[in-house]
């Protein structure tokens, strides 16, 4: 996403700049590859067994009090009503984030999502969320599809 000078003063721009610094700080020296996208950042997290998982982070959300939020999520599988009970039960087992349904590319998907307050976010918190969501998301993907699609 490109920002003109008017955009540069927006809260979303500042949150995105903070996110950029946080990602750079924790990804430096790792094998995590990240790119900036129109929506935020896409991180490819290498996992054991030559697997990988993409994690997305956006900086354009606010909570009900107006606080800026980072939203971190990874895609597990296409949504299927037969999986909803499994997903809801699994929510109580995962340490970070929650399973949700998100429309992506015109289709509903099961995702694991976590949020962080922008004003208090630290590299270690973002890193922990990204790594955990990648690992759990990949485990769920492997269980549900037997593949490494994401």
pLDDT at 39: 87
CATH code of the domain covering residue 131: 3.30.1460.10
Q: Is residue 63 part of a domain?
A: yes
Strand 51-62: give its sheet, edge to edge: 33-36, 40-47, 51-62, 68-78, 107-117, 98-104
Q: Which two tokens stand for residue 94?
A: 């995962």
**119 close to 113: Cβ distance less than 8 angstroms:** no
Q: Which two tokens stand for residue 55?
A: 């994690």
In whole angstroms, how large is the CA radius of gyration of the chain?
16
Percentage of residues in the chain having pLDDT higher than 70 = 88
Residue 2: which pLDDT band, with cuts at 50, 70 and 90? Answer: very low
Q: What is the mean pLDDT of the chain?
A: 87
pLDDT at 16: 87
Neighbours of 12 (CB within 10 A): 16
pLDDT at 6: 31
| Model confidence pLDDT, tens digit, residues 17-63 | 889 999 998 888 889 999 999 889 999 999 999 999 999 999 989 99
Supply the range of the domain harboring residue 111.
5-145
Mean pLDDT of 78-104: 91
Q: Is residue 95 part of a domain?
A: yes
**111 close to 101: Cβ distance less than 8 angstroms:** yes
Give this prediction's pTM.
0.86
Q: Is residue 150 part of a domain?
A: no
Structural domains of the chain, count: 1
């Amino acid at each position: 996403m490109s920002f003109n000078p008017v955009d540069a003063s927006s809260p979303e721009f500042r949150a995105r700049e903070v996110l950029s610094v946080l990602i750079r700080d924790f990804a430096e020296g790792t094998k995590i590859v990240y790119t900036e996208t129109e929506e935020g950042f896409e991180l490819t997290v290498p996992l054991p067994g030559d697997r990988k998982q993409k994690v997305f982070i956006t900086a354009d959300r606010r909570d009900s009090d107006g606080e800026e939020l980072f939203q971190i999520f990874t895609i597990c599988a296409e949504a299927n009503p037969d999986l909803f009970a499994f997903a809801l039960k699994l929510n109580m087992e995962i340490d970070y984030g929650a399973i949700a349904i998100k429309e992506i590319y015109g289709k509903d998907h099961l995702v694991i999502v976590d949020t962080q307050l922008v004003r208090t976010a630290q590299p270690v918190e973002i890193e922990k969320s990204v790594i955990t969501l990648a690992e759990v998301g990949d485990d769920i993907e492997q269980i549900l599809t037997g593949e490494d699609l994401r």
